[in-house]
Amino acid sequence: MTDPTLSNPDLVPTTSAQRTWRWYHFAALWVGMVMCIPAYTLASSLIESGMSWSQAVGTVFLGNLIVLVPMLLIGHAGAKYGIPYAVLARASFGTQGARLPALLRALVACGWYGIQTWFGGQMIYTLMGVLVGHPLSVEPLPVLGISAAQFGCFLLFWALQFYFVVHGIEAIRKLETYTAPIKIVICFVLLWWAWDKAGGFGPILDQPSAFVEGGKKAGQFSSAFWPSLTAMVGFWATLALNIPDFTRFAKSQRDQLVGQAIGLPVPMGLLAALAVFVTSATVVIYGKALWDPVDVASRMTGAAVLIGLIVLLIDTVSVNLAANLVGPAYDFSALAPGKVSYKLGGIITAGIAIAMMPWKILASTQGYIFTWLIGYSALLGPVAGILIVDYYVLRKTELVVDDLYREGGRYSYRGGWNTAALIAFVIGVAPNIPGFLNAAFPAAFPEVGAAFKAIYTYAWFAGLALAAIVYGALMAGKTQPQPLTRSAT
């Protein structure tokens, strides 16, 4: 018997009829999410830090290869039992304690949803300026800190996404499946355009690494590489946790494994290479490096401007919905299953995204690439470590699904909270807090020791490892694999 305070139709295990996702749906999902503006601009931050183009592309690829591992490990539970992330977390954190990692994941996603919506609004703002022949108003409004035109474009893009918010995950699956091939074609068209206009690729490709002997940063490669790698891992750290929200619809375990392995690391590396090639060409075409694809599209002539920006708008919608809506919609539903459905959870996510004023997140953290990405990876890494140790080491992938949906079962612990998971989480996060404060607000927190700065460089890795070790030690001998009483397969 399930408890109505822990269950609703959106949270219960998926049925065989709902398991319609094949490997190509997962591959399309990832291609759709990878082809986005923030991912395109990742390579720029690495090249600006002194890396050569090959070092930058290699770092992006390696980071995504690493994050694929927890993605596949955690996704296994979704495919095997048909449960979402917020329910899986109950096995380790407790039936009530799971609300903590669910809320953390949801709030990070709300921030991301707002940031991507802000990027989409800026595209509309740019497009409207091109169409009217001059930039729109830039006078900032009180409190908001942005112009009325910018805020209006932000709200317009927010409204464009609302159809998919209320029509659920199946509408998102169709959007990703149909738009992924178009995105691939557009990428090659953009590459051809850049090569044709510039007569080849040059300046950035010819630029050596600043870390080689005789370079400006000779011998300092590791100091740039490790925080960069952590940021690359952090880019998809949210999805590494809530991937069961998608894999619960997989036709088979093989479909989620093959689809994700094909869809994430290689396309991400290729997009970084594309960004480098196109940007290298813009140095020849426009006289300076343009890493922002919106800026590049706005400089094109004729119908190319309109087509380019519309494609970018569609791209941002598909990425934002899959990466930043599905997870928090389930997470908010899990906080109060009897009152909040998946659809209402999506509406709450969209509402919080406005209230968070994402343009201020970007400004206050002094750039999202390193502070925002590494900062939230410090929160989510420990959760991933706890989930993986609990599911694989302690339970050997065997869960009693009925007990995930009722109080008084094996996952209730003490009052619904597993103290071991909470202690492990706190220990995993704590060492990264000083480094985060120094990175995000250096003027307010200048006196942070070198040791804390070093730990923060490896935030996701350090948090995952610490939490995993502590949780495994605290739970040793307290949990044994249980016979399977109910499975969604």
State mean pLDDT over 29-52: 81
Q: pLDDT tens, 192-242?
A: 888 888 887 777 778 788 888 878 888 888 888 888 888 788 778 888 888
Q: What is the DSSP letter of 139?
A: P
| Beta carbons within 8 Å of 421's beta carbon, 6+ residues apart | 92, 93, 94, 97, 386, 390, 471
CA atoms within 13 A on the CB side of 156: 15
CA–CA distance, 106 with 112 (Å, rounded to integer): 10
Q: What is the DSSP letter of 236?
A: T
Q: Which of 185, 191, 169, 134 is nearest to 311 (CA)?
A: 185
pTM for the whole structure = 0.85
**Which pLDDT score is estimated for 217?**
85
Q: Which two tokens stand for residue 452?
A: 């804390």
Question: Which amino acid, 402?
Answer: D
Q: pLDDT tens, 67-89?
A: 999 999 999 999 999 999 999 99
Question: Which amino acid, 461?
Answer: F
Question: Which amino acid, 115?
Answer: I
CA–CA distance, 411 with 3 (Å, rounded to integer): 13
CA–CA distance, 482 with 489 (Å, rounded to integer): 17
CA–CA distance, 67 with 54 (Å, rounded to integer): 20
CA–CA distance, 367 with 364 (Å, rounded to integer): 8
Q: pLDDT tens, 324-353?
A: 898 899 999 999 999 999 999 999 999 999
Q: pLDDT tens, 420-457?
A: 999 999 999 999 999 888 887 788 888 888 899 888 88
Rg (alpha carbons) of the chain, rounded to whole number: 23
**Which pLDDT score is estimated for 487?**
42
State mean pLDDT over 354-380: 72
Secondary structure (3-state) at 140: strand
Other beta carbons within 10 Å of 144: 14
CA–CA distance, 46 with 55 (Å, rounded to integer): 8
